[in-house]
Structure formats: structure tokens, C-alpha cells
Amino acid sequence: MPVLNITIMAGRDEGQKQLLASALTDAVHATLGSPKAEVRIFINEVTPDNFSAGGMLKSVSARASAADKTGERPN
């Protein structure tokens, strides 16, 4: 029984997550031959203040990006 653990940024709606689960299930079935009913998927959603890329929290980089657009300095 394949178990997939997917982490995404919070904010996707149920329909998007359903499409993701369906596509991943199809991919596991096609590549590993596992029965679709046996594929398990955990979707973990993280908030921007709990995710970092390149040493910067996503929440901080989002504020910096918004500030660049408005000419303001981020908090």
C-alpha cells in the first residue's frame, strides 16, 4: 500500500486538493501498478509563517514582495 505525504501551502480549495489526490493516485497506479483503492495520500497544509525557502519565511518574503510593489519597507 503506497502512502504519499504531500505538503502544500495553505489556501487551496477542496476541488484543487481533490484534483491533486486523483492525479497522484493515477500516477502511482500507472507507475507502480498499485490498485487505486490502496493508495493513501496525506495532504499537509502549512501557513506562510511555517514555511521557509532559502532561509526566509514565506510570510516575510510575501511582505517584502508586496512592499516592493508599493514602495514601502516590510515589517
pLDDT tens-digit map of 2-17: 999 999 999 999 999 9
- 36, 29 Cβ separation under 8 angstroms: yes
pLDDT value of position 63: 81
Please give the grid coordinates belonging to residue 54. 532559502
What parts of the chain have a pLDDT lower than 50? Answer: none
Strand partners, 4: 41
Q: What is the pTM of this model?
A: 0.77
